[in-house]
Amino acid sequence: GENVEQHPSTLSVQEGDSAVIKCTYSDSASNYFPWYKQELGKGPQLIIDIRSNVGEKKDQRIAVTLNKTAKHFSLHITETQPEDSAVYFCAASNAGGTSYGKLTFGQGTILTVHP
């Protein structure tokens, strides 16, 4: 089955700096890669996703890049703000066809943005 590795486990940055979180996956058939943000006391919230036919996607201060050859994808947050502090999870799935959308999650990254 799919295995997703996420690094780093903790990341501390100063407000205004950029933050990068990286994930690798093992199943070359995976074709969908979402990123979730989980704040304290809340469930994970989808913040951005990318599909295997796209190399990069941006949404304001957030961007995700995908390297299918190397089987890794990354989350980039620019101009970080204290409210970006949360746990971030990457995930991968091979959905469509005969398989259902089973997401395999990374272990999570605790991001702390210091004012």
Partner 1 sequence: ETGVTQTPRHLVMGMTNKKSLKCEQHLGHNAMYWYKQSAKKPLELMFVYSLEERVENNSVPSRFSPECPNSSHLFLHLHTLQPEDSALYLCASSQEARRETQYFGPGTRLLVL
Using CB under 8 A, list all residues that contact partner 1. Answer: 4, 32, 34, 36, 41-46, 49, 89, 93, 95-97, 99-108
Per DSSP, the three-state class of 84 is helix
Supply the minimum distance, in Å, between the C-beta of residue 93 and partner 1.
5
Supply the minimum distance, in Å, between the C-beta of residue 84 and partner 1.
18
Give, in order, the Cα–Cα distances in Å from 56 to each of 39, 45, 48, 74, 78: 25, 20, 11, 10, 15
Give the integer Cα–Cα distance in Å for 40 and 38: 7
Supply the minimum distance, in Å, between the C-beta of residue 85 and partner 1.
18
Whether 71 and 59 have beta carbons less than 8 Å apart is answered as no
Q: Which is nearer to partner 1, 101 or 115 (CB)?
A: 101
Q: Which is nearer to partner 1, 14 or 40 (CB)?
A: 40
